[in-house]
Structure 1
Amino acid sequence: MALIPPFFLDCVVAIGIIKPDGNKHWIGTGFLFGKFVKQKEGNEKEYKVFLVSNKHVLKNHASVILRFNPQDDQAATDYPASLKDKDGKDLWTGHPNDNVDIGVIGINAQKLKDEGMKFGIFQSDDMAFTIDKLKEIGTTEGDFVYVLGFPMGLVTSDRQFVISRNGTIGRIRDLFEKRSTDFIVDAFVFPGNSGGPVILKPEMISIGGTKSNSNAALIGVVKSYIPYQDTAVSQQTGRPRIIFEDNSGLSLVEPVDYIFETIEEDEKRKSQPPTTAIANAGGSA
């Protein structure tokens, strides 16, 4: 029994950097998203493939590494991905709104396929629910979700296996009413989860007067957790001395619509199809 389509797990990618001492440090999560281009012969479709993550994961780096598992059980392969050209200009594109934390860069999916990597893509036309689609199916607070990613950089030494955490939609009606640009899920996320996909859990049963949803779908991108702050006050002076910050267990999520908008911005920037971020493999982990 599976509530998440198995290939959804293969859409998710660990993002890391090589430190000056040569060691790998895993800094975030990304996933492969396919923008529908055209219908080909039969049931085959053509997609333009992008890596999606957060701006704050991609910025300030000239390059990162992306980890993929081979189709067999061999050790994972790390691919260098250039984020800047020789002139220092960003090869990736961020959403034009500074408050929207989404960045994209084109990916050479054919190269991954030719080299026997195991991967999937979230197809834009039938695996991603926009705000209007979420309204249509009656999405509301309390609906169950899955958060996929690599919290705390928990990537095994020789393979890439994503970690799934469950949660619920904490608040979304303010997004529907355009009073907010993001929504809240009740799910713990940590550094390393940033840029990971949020998946709506399929539910065959619903209460009377509401709709059921039988499809798992991408509904957003993890941005950050919402911190809880507590202040220690001096008993002698009555003034605050130390502020403690904890993870509240509530997390901010960017809706799928902003992925489409960021890809549109990327295509405006470039007269040619997006340049690939994938270079030659850096070898097995």
Structure 2
Amino acid sequence: MDLTVELINATVQIEQVRADGERTTGTGFLIRAPKPDGTPRVVLVTAAHVLTEMTDPQASIGWRFADAGGGWRFAPAPLKIRDGSLPLWTRHPIRDVAAMEIKAPPEFAKAAIPLAWLAAETTFEDTQVGPGEEMMGLGFPRGLSSNMAGFPILRYGRVASYPVSPSAAFPTFLVDFTVFPGNSGGPVFMVDAARRAEGDATRGPFVAGLVTSMVTHDQNRESLEIGVVTHASYIRETVAMLDQPVPVAAPPPTVTAGAPSRSPPSPQPVRR
């Protein structure tokens, strides 16, 4: 499989333009996560703060469709994210991760990646992921796409922190690429793990996590051009909560990189 192309097709822009003209943009990606009875289900995954920043009941999701002549067209559609004041997404109780079941067009239901492609608790250890490993990320920095068809922008960087596992002890890790408002919620993935575990079909490329913030200087909020990635095991936990919802009394303490594309972000710095 070409995980890069598969994830490009599964990654979408989430946006809300309020009546006063304020624009909030984030990134999400689609996962195929069947219900316990086997019923097919498409789940939209993003950073929880992306949806929290969108205060109106309806946002939009950036679908893309291929034309007969080989071109593509961008066709954003309404996405209901609240029923009145009640959020329609499920958020992880302590991590900046959200998931919600959506109805996707057939093309995107097919493009959604399997849940099994997400890293599990032991994946980093099994594939010996460590500092200096190259990872890629997809997103819509400041609401920009790679072309008029609305495809996400691909970036890459190297793991910039140590240790990175187990995820229970190190739920986030750093990657050396620049994060802007609009990147939050985008998938971060590794494509060369198959070489490290040659001959073991269970250890191929995988989604390592999603972007949830950036690192800034503590005093002047200067960006250090380093992204904070929340481990994919927490995406798995959040998707599982769709079938066993758990009430969340308060949001996690970290506010992040940015959903609002209208102004510079104000994330909390990473303290190590």
Q: Deviations over 1:3-36 (max 9, x none)?
A: 6442220110001112315x68351100001225
Using the alignment, how far apart are the partners of 1:263 and 1:70 within structure 2? 27
- Give the alignment of 1:195-214 within 5 angstroms: 195-202=185-192, 211=197
Using the alignment, how far apart are the partners of 1:26 and 1:69 within structure 2? 20
SS at match of 2:124: helix
Please identify the structure whose Cα radius of gyration is greater: 1
- Give the alignment of 1:1-285 within 5 angstroms: 4-20=3-19, 25=23, 27-36=25-34, 47-59=40-52, 60-72=55-67, 73-86=71-84, 88-97=85-94, 100-109=95-104, 112-113=105-106, 120-125=111-116, 127-155=117-145, 158-173=148-163, 175-176=165-166, 178-202=168-192, 211=197, 215-229=204-218, 243-269=219-245
Count of equivalent residues: 238
Is contact 2:139-2:183 (8 Å) kept?
yes
SS at match of 2:122: helix
Q: State the shift of 1:221 in Å.
A: 0.6
Is contact 2:4-2:191 (8 Å) kept?
no
Q: State the shift of 1:71 in Å.
A: 2.3
Q: State the shift of 1:131 in Å.
A: 2.7
Q: Deviations over 1:158-200 (max 9, x none)?
A: 4211101110111252542743321111111111100000011
Using the alignment, how far apart are the partners of 1:14 and 1:24 within structure 2? 16
- After TM superposition, what 4+ stretches of structure 1 lie above 6 angstroms from structure 2? none
Q: State the shift of 1:118 in Å.
A: 8.6
Show structure 1 runs of 5+ residues with no match: 41-45, 230-242, 271-285
Is contact 2:16-2:23 (8 Å) kept?
yes
Show structure 2 runs of 5+ residues with no match: 247-272
AA aligned opposite 1:70:
F
Q: State the shift of 1:259 in Å.
A: 1.1
**Aligned residue in 2 for 1:274:** none
SS at match of 1:134: helix
Is contact 1:69-1:118 (8 Å) kept?
no
Q: What is the TM-score when the length of structure 1 is the normalising length?
A: 0.74
C-alpha RMSD over aligned residues: 2.8
Using the alignment, how far apart are the partners of 1:136 and 1:66 within structure 2? 35
AA aligned opposite 1:31:
F
**Structure (1/2) with the larger strand percentage:** 1
Query: For residues 15 and 24 of structure 1, do their structure 2 counterparts lie closer, same or farther at Cα, with a shift above 3 Å needed?
Result: farther
SS at match of 1:138: coil
